[in-house]
C-alpha cells in the first residue's frame, strides 16, 4: 500500500475510532470512493495496533490503578477509581458479550454485513439511539458508582458494535447514559472496556498473519508509519473528546451520523 494511503487511513482511523461516528464506515467509504485496496491482514492489524497503543498510552495510569486495586494494592490517585476497587472484574465481565458476538458473527460482520447499505442504516439508527440517550439519561453517576448491572448492559452494547456502522464508542456511551452515568464517565468506561476487545482483535490478526508466514510485513516502514499515525491521532482524539464531554452534549455527533448515514445510503443507491 502506498505510504500516502497509509497516512490518510491512519488519520481516518485515529479520528473516527474513539468518536461515536464509526471508524469502519468512514474507512470503507474513503477506500470505496477512492478505489483503494485495504483487504489485507497487515492493514487490519496496523489499524488495531494503532488504536490499541492509543488507548493504552492514554489510560496507562488508569490501568495500573485498576489492576493494582483489584489485587489489594494502594496505587494511583484517581478518586473515582479509588471508589470502585472491583472495576477490573467489572471490565472483565463486560468484555464477555463482545467475545461471544465476535465468535458467532465475525464472518458475517466481515462479509455479508460489510456493505454501504448496512452501514448507512446503522449510522442513522445508532444516531437516533444516541439522541434518545442524551435526553433520557440523568447523568448522576460516575465510575465510582458503576456496578455489575452497568457492566453487563454496556458490554451487551459493545457486542452490537460487531455490526459495521454501529460504532463501539457510540453504542457503549449511549448505554452508559441510559444507566445514568455522566457523559465523561460513560466515555471513559467505554474506552477502558474497548481495550481488551481491541487487544484480542489485534492478537487474532497477528496470529492469522503468522499462519500465512507474513509477520515480516509488520517490520516494514509503511506498517510502522500507519501504526504511529493512528496511535498519535487516536491519543489526541481521546483527550479532546473527554474534555469536550465535560461541557457539551453528543448532539453534534448525532446530527453528523444521521447526515453521513443518509449520504452513504444515497451513494450506495447511485453506485
The DSSP annotation for the chain comes to --HHHHHHHHHHHHHHTTTTT-HHHHHHHHHHHHT----SHHHHHHHHHHHHHHHHHHTHHHHHHHHHHHTT------HHHHT-TTHHHHHHHHHHHHHHHHHHHHHHHHTTT-SHHHHHHHHHHHHHHHHHHHHH----B-GGG--HHHHHHHHHHHHHTTSTTS-HHHHHHHHHHHTTB-HHHHHHHHHHHHHHHHHHHHHHHHHHHHHTT-GGGGGSHHHHHHHHHHHHHHHHHHHHHHHHHTT--SHHHHHHHHHHHHHHHHHHHH-
Residue-level pLDDT at 41 = 59
Band of the pLDDT at 203, cuts 50, 70, 90? confident
Number of domains into which the chain is organized: 1
pLDDT digits (tens, 9 = 90+) for 20-65: 999 999 998 888 888 887 666 577 778 889 999 999 999 999 999 9
What confidence score (pLDDT) does residue 40 get?
64
Condensed to tens digits (0 to 9), the pLDDT of residues 144-166 reads 999 999 999 999 999 999 999 99
Q: What is the largest CA-CA distance in the chain?
A: 59
pTM of the model: 0.94
* Residue 146, domain extent: 3-270
164-171: average pLDDT: 96
Asked if residue 215 has pLDDT above 70, the reply is: no
Amino acid at each position: 500500500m502506498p505510504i500516502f494511503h497509509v497516512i490518510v487511513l491512519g488519520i481516518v482511523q485515529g479520528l473516527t475510532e474513539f468518536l461515536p461516528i464509526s471508524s469502519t464506515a468512514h474507512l470503507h467509504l474513503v477506500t470505496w470512493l477512492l478505489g483503494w485496496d485495504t483487504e489485507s491482514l497487515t492493514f487490519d492489524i496496523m489499524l488495531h495496533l494503532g488504536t490499541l497503543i492509543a488507548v493504552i498510552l492514554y489510560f496507562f495510569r488508569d490501568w495500573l490503578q485498576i489492576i493494582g486495586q483489584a489485587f489489594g494494592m494502594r496505587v494511583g490517585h484517581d478518586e473515582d477509581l479509588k471508589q470502585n476497587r472491583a472495576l477490573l472484574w467489572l471490565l472483565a465481565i463486560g468484555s464477555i458479550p463482545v467475545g461471544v458476538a465476535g465468535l458467532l458473527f465475525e464472518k458475517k460482520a466481515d462479509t455479508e454485513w460489510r456493505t454501504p447499505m448496512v452501514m448507512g442504516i446503522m449510522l442513522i439508527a445508532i444516531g437516533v439511539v444516541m439522541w434518545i440517550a442524551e435526553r433520557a439519561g440523568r447523568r448522576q453517576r460516575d465510575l465510582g458508582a458503576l456496578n455489575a448491572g452497568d457492566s453487563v448492559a454496556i458490554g451487551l452494547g459493545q457486542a452490537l458494535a460487531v455490526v459495521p456502522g454501529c460504532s463501539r464508542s457510540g453504542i457503549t456511551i449511549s448505554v452508559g447514559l441510559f444507566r445514568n452515568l455522566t457523559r465523561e464517565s460513560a466515555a471513559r468506561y467505554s474506552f477502558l472496556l474497548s481495550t481488551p476487545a481491541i487487544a484480542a482483535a489485534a492478537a487474532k490478526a497477528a496470529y492469522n498473519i503468522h499462519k500465512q508466514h507474513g509477520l515480516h510485513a509488520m517490520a516494514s516502514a509503511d506498517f510502522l508509519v500507519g501504526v504511529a499515525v493512528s496511535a498519535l491521532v487516536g491519543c489526541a482524539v481521546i483527550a479532546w473528546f473527554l474534555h469536550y464531554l465535560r461541557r457539551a452534549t453528543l448532539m453534534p455527533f448525532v446530527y453528523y451520523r444521521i447526515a453521513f448515514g443518509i449520504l452513504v445510503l444515497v451513494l450506495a443507491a447511485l453506485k
